[in-house]
Amino acid sequence: MNDAPDSGETGGEPAVRSEWEATAPTRRETVPALEEILNEPFKVLDHGFVRVVDYMGSDNAIVQAARVSYGKGTKRSSTDAALIRYLLRHRHTTPFEMCEIKLHIKLPIFVARQWIRHRTANVNEYSARYSKMDREYYIPDPEHLQALLEERNRQRREREAWPDLFEPRQPEEPATLAAQSDMNRQGREGRLTAAEVHDSLSRLDWVSSRTYGVYKNLLNEDEDGEKIREDRSGIARELARSVLPVNYYTQFYWKC
């Protein structure tokens, strides 16, 4: 993954958008469904988005590679569809590599790090080493917190109903706000009260906002990018970024 300077593009600048909206003739095959949504951001979470910025290939590219041919000829589309299903069913994945798609994604850092673990792509990410971070961080929706807990409870009930399918239960730990789930090392069990939800979200917001203030102070900059004190210099961005939590947003281009 490259760690290169980023232009700060967020998917909505008028100058950039005018370039997207300009049309030009092409001799390559296009996919109408992708052309319809090309460069249009789809909102994700509170500040994130996903958008398709480019692609190459179509179903025809897959079946051509599978048949080692140079055109679809007289083959019917139903036959092409059957071949694609066959390739999927038997896990013949090489023909699918004839197609590529490039996405522009804005997401919390902790999600990006999990995503990168499953790397099958070329990636170029926004660099806080060279660029300044915005005050944009992820705060979970209260309903999302409850949905996660309800899913943990469903898994627990399933485990209790079929004990022979799971490993022996671990000794229970004291019940706290961050109590460990006995079946999922990344979760907790039980249902949060309204007070717990409010307290948790307030703490997340407070810490996230305060650390951004520390970040800007280390850079010796105010919210407008002006120097706070003329008699001192800020530290390097690559060091200042270390205080920001992983719920802050990053961006990357992902091609696979």
Q: Is residue 191 part of a domain?
A: no
Per-residue confidence (pLDDT) for residue 5, from 0 to 100? 46
Residue 247 included in any domain:
no
Q: What is the pTM of this model?
A: 0.69
Range of the structural domain that residue 85 is part of = 2-125
- CA separation for the pair 221, 219 (Å, rounded): 5
Total domains in the fold of the chain: 1
Smallest CA-to-CA distance from 53 within 127, 104, 128, 129 is with: 104
Please report whether residue 41 resides in a domain.
yes
| Model pLDDT, residue 129 | 79
Q: Which residues of the chain are modeled with pLDDT < 70?
A: 1-22, 69-78, 118-119, 144-191
The whole-number pLDDT of residue 8 equals 45
Structure token digits, residue 82: 């059957």
Does residue 58 fall inside a structural domain?
yes
Residue 31, judged by CB atoms within 10 A of its CB (0-12, 13-18, 19+), counts as: middle
Question: What tokens appear for 201 in the block?
Answer: 């979200």
CATH code of residue 64: 3.30.1360.170
Neighbouring CB atoms inside 10 A of 249's CB total: 23
Contact 128, 238 (CB under 8 A): yes
Taking each helix axis from N to C end, the angle separating 77-89 and 59-67, rounded to the nearest 10 degrees, works out to: 70
Tens digit of each residue's pLDDT (9 = 90 or more) over 179-231: 335 555 555 555 677 788 888 889 999 999 999 999 999 999 988 888 988 88
At residue 39, the pLDDT reads 94
The predicted structure's pLDDT at residue 7:
42
Q: 71: which residues sit within 8 A by CB, 6+ positions away?
A: 64
**Is residue 105 included in any domain, yes or no?**
yes
Please tell me the predicted confidence (pLDDT) of residue 171: 45
Predicted local confidence at residue 217, as pLDDT = 92
Does some domain include residue 88? yes
Q: Is residue 93 part of a domain?
A: yes
Record the tokens describing residue 218, joined without a space.
Answer: 């280390």
User: Does a structural domain hold residue 235?
Assistant: no
What was the pLDDT predicted at 179?
39
Residue 212's pLDDT is what? 93
